[in-house]
A = this chain, B = another copy of it.
Amino acid sequence: MESIEAALTYARNKREEHLADYKALLTIPSISTLPEHREDVLRTAQWLADHLKRFGMQQVKCIPTAGHPIVYGEWLKAPGKPVVLVYGHYDVQPVDPIEEWESEPFSAEVRGNYIYARGASDMKGQLLAQLKAMESLSTHGDFPVNVKYLLEGEEEIGSPHLSGFIETHKELLACDIVLNCDAGIHAPDGPSIVYALRGLAYFEVEVQGPAKDLHSGMFGGSIRNPIHVLCEVIAGMHDAEGRVTLPGFYNAVRPLDEEERRELARFPYSNQEWFNLTGASGLYGESGYSTLERVGARPTLEINGIWGGFTGTGAKTVLPARASAKLSMRLVADQKPESIRGMLQRYLEEHMPAGVQWSLQEHSHGPGAIMNRNSPYMKTALAALKATFGVDPIFRREGGSVPVVGIMQELLGVDSIMLGFALPDDGIHGPNERQYLPNFFKGIETYIRFMAGLASMQQ
């Protein structure tokens, strides 16, 4: 505990220097999707590698991939203590629409309590806060736990080389727990922790009726219209209770127990806020579940796009040859994307009528994930948040997908603790992205407490 206090004191005394380093990191435009920024991405990797070395990481290297490099580093001199793999990414999104930015995206301007820059929140701020926590801990003796770093430069383009890298570096990356810093809390003073993520299975269905577009007067009403067929099949995918009708769809879904529902209900939520966020004029979803349960704890099926026939201005009287839809399911833990594909296939086989041909194509998939809320790692994270923010953190399930969490579970067999300090209104991926600076510093303190806490947790 003495070393924790010392590290916290160091961190508090060094805020000016930490902010200066934060600004330095933000000024490198590491846009991974734009070839002209390839050198900037590389420079950022080197900047981080240097930083890791500075506070004592060993074996630090920028490992090339077919895309942008992965930064690795380790410190493994705490025998008997857990090995923590810190995951982060150092690449950022493009800055369009540039004209909507109030300051230059890579100038890292501080205005009031915020620092504005592309990557400030997603996720250089979270990543550097973790590094500064380690730097703070390094000033007073050995690290409390074993640490490895895995920092990628391709998260914003879908991590095309991450799975392959992990697959071929399983031993190098072996660990007890992942600290995933690419995360956030729900309000400036509202610490929360995401313990479940939804997976994804994304498909495209095409229905073919006649060989070519036909005159709807000459042939309308005598053969199947592929748009009708597609609409009927889609309409049948949900029942009157808002449940997905694919046979077996819910078989693997873990039911919510009362305790978890109470926990989820602690999250500050109002219908009005949901209306403001979405612009929708009403709520709808699976019967028997709250809005937050629907998006966090239940699998869903959405049609993401549909097209067929004449879609121009005015009127054209065609009976179209084809109609297509993109549809995706958000899956919860234990639902296997491969099984879902089979269920969809069977549903379509049973519901497509004679007189049309159809095809099913899979675009992508990834598993959902759920972490044990009662594990010692999770308890350590909660304790670190509470000690820093002074209030009890809230557990959250997130409706979106963070593929790396499922990949780590699958390939390394370990859970991830999602601990980061981005806020919902930080404007990530948009203009004027920002980070709330007080929470950059609270982040450093939370990471100090988390890393130190892991050394003394009850296994």
Query: Interface residues, chain A, CB within 8 Å of chain B?
Result: 198, 200, 202, 209-212, 214-225, 227-228, 230-232, 234-236, 238, 274, 277-286, 291, 294-295, 298, 300, 302-311, 314-321, 323-326, 328, 330, 353-357, 363-364, 398-401
The answer to whether A355 touches B320, judged by C-beta atoms less than 8 angstroms apart, is no
Among A202, A228, A274, A309, which residue has the most Cβ atoms of chain B within 10 A?
A: A228
CB distance from A381 to the nearest CB of B (A): 22
CB within 8 Å for A310 and B326 given contacts A228-B234, A231-B231 = yes
From B294, B355, B400, A215 is in contact (CB under 8 Å) with B400
The answer to whether B216 touches A294, judged by C-beta atoms less than 8 angstroms apart, is no
CB within 8 Å for A315 and B326 given contacts A222-B291, A238-B228 = yes
30 contacting pairs across A/B (C-beta < 8 A): A198-B217, A200-B317, A202-B315, A210-B278, A214-B278, A216-B328, A218-B295, A218-B400, A219-B295, A221-B330, A222-B274, A222-B283, A222-B291, A222-B294, A223-B274, A223-B283, A227-B306, A231-B235, A235-B235, A282-B353, A284-B353, A302-B317, A305-B308, A305-B310, A305-B316, A307-B311, A310-B326, A311-B324, A315-B326, A316-B326
Given contacts A230-B306, A304-B310, A305-B309, 18 further A-B contacts (CB under 8 A): A200-B217, A216-B330, A217-B295, A220-B300, A225-B303, A227-B305, A228-B234, A228-B235, A228-B303, A231-B232, A280-B355, A281-B354, A282-B354, A284-B355, A302-B317, A304-B320, A306-B307, A306-B311
CB within 8 Å for A219 and B315 given contacts A306-B231, A326-B309 = no
The answer to whether A221 touches B355, judged by C-beta atoms less than 8 angstroms apart, is no
Residue of B nearest to A289 (CB): B221
Residue of B nearest to A211 (CB): B279
Contacts of A224 in B (CB 8 A): 280, 282, 284
CB distance from A306 to the nearest CB of B (A): 5
A286 to B212, CA, bound (A): 22
From B212, B279, B316, B399, A220 is in contact (CB under 8 Å) with B399
The answer to whether B295 touches A316, judged by C-beta atoms less than 8 angstroms apart, is no
A208 to B356, CA, bound (A): 30
From B200, B202, B236, B306, A309 is in contact (CB under 8 Å) with B306
Residue of B nearest to A212 (CB): B279
CB distance from A312 to the nearest CB of B (A): 8
Among A216, A283, A401, which residue has the most Cβ atoms of chain B within 10 A?
A: A216
CB distance from A246 to the nearest CB of B (A): 14
The answer to whether B328 touches A280, judged by C-beta atoms less than 8 angstroms apart, is no
A186 to B179, CA, bound (A): 76
Residue of B nearest to A237 (CB): B228
Nearest 3 CB-CB pairings of A with B:
A211-B279, A282-B355, A221-B300
Residue of B nearest to A224 (CB): B284
Contacts of A300 in B (CB 8 A): 220-221
A294 to B225, CA, bound (A): 14
The answer to whether A210 touches B307, judged by C-beta atoms less than 8 angstroms apart, is no
A311 to B322, CA, bound (A): 14
From B221, B230, B302, B321, A302 is in contact (CB under 8 Å) with B221
From B303, B318, B328, A304 is in contact (CB under 8 Å) with B318
Contacts of A223 in B (CB 8 A): 274, 278, 280, 282-285
Contacts of A202 in B (CB 8 A): 315, 317
Among A218, A291, A356, which residue has the most Cβ atoms of chain B within 10 A?
A: A218
Contacts of A308 in B (CB 8 A): 305-307
Residue of B nearest to A284 (CB): B224
Among A212, A238, A277, which residue has the most Cβ atoms of chain B within 10 A?
A: A277
